[in-house]
Structure 1
Amino acid sequence: MLWTIIVTIVGGAIIGVIGKAVAPGDRTKFPFWLTVLCGIVGMLVGSFLYWGIAGHDNGSFDGHEATWDNATNGIDWMRHLWQVVVAAVAVIVAAAVTGRKRS
């Protein structure tokens, strides 16, 4: 359980920073905790969207069935792309809600 929390926070920070970088506009006046929160949202929602659209029909591999958080052999680049896109949308929404954008 502790490992899941650590991976979620670190992964959320990475996905959030990438999402902030690819979000259109200037959204740099953001607290870091909000960036991590947007990344965590991107990780979870992006994974479930990918699973619902493309990942659920993958067959079994490496001795287990495909799941929402592990749908392919190796690194699941398409799932990570979905996560970054959702994180970028979350950054845009958070910037609009908090009014934290550079003028």
Structure 2
Amino acid sequence: MPVSGIVSALIVGLIIGALGRLVLPGKQSIPIWLTIVVGVVAAFIGTFLANALGVGDTRGIDWIEVIIQVALAAVGVSLVAGFYSRKRVS
């Protein structure tokens, strides 16, 4: 994978992870690097799901794909925040 692909994956992961955190109520006490990782994973899985559903490649902005990615990021951030805070308390 070229460097530009890695950089773009990190930028997309940051955006998707941040949007996932925004839709969750309350404070999530996880570091930004973990938000990026969750966002990158959610972006990859969301793209796969959108393509499997046949809505991954439409004209213009793929809004359904973005919604799937953000929803997955919100679930991922919620799960990771629960595990992360539980690990830090113990």
Counterpart amino acid of 1:8?
A
- Sequence identity percentage: 36
Counterpart amino acid of 2:22?
A
* Alignment coverage as a number of residue pairs: 85
Offset at residue 4 of structure 1 (A): 0.9
Computing the radius of gyration from Cα coordinates, the structure with the larger value is: 1
Offset at residue 73 of structure 1 (A): 1.9
Structure 2, unmatched stretches of 5+, are none
Q: What is residue 26 of structure 1 aligned with on the other side?
A: 27
Q: Tell me how far apart the structure 1 counterparts of residues 71 and 8 of structure 2 sit (CA, whole Å).
A: 19
Q: What is residue 12 of structure 1 aligned with on the other side?
A: 13
Please give the per-residue CA displacement for 1:68-98, whole angstroms capped at 9, x wherever unaligned.
5xx1122111101100000001101101111
Please give the per-residue CA displacement for 1:49-79, whole angstroms capped at 9, x wherever unaligned.
1111233xxxxxxxxxxxx5xx112211110
Q: What is residue 46 of structure 1 aligned with on the other side?
A: 46
| 4+ residue runs over 6 A deviation | none
Give secondary structure in 2 for the equivalent of 1:99: helix
Counterpart amino acid of 1:30?
I
TM-score under structure 2 length normalisation: 0.85
Please give the per-residue CA displacement for 1:32-65, whole angstroms capped at 9, x wherever unaligned.
100101110110111111111233xxxxxxxxxx
Give secondary structure in 2 for the equivalent of 1:78: helix
Give secondary structure in 2 for the equivalent of 1:9: helix
Answer 1 or 2: which has greater helix percent: 2
Q: What is residue 87 of structure 1 aligned with on the other side?
A: 73
Q: Tell me how far apart the structure 1 counterparts of residues 79 and 68 of structure 2 sit (CA, whole Å).
A: 17
Q: Alpha carbon RMSD of aligned pairs, Å?
A: 1.5
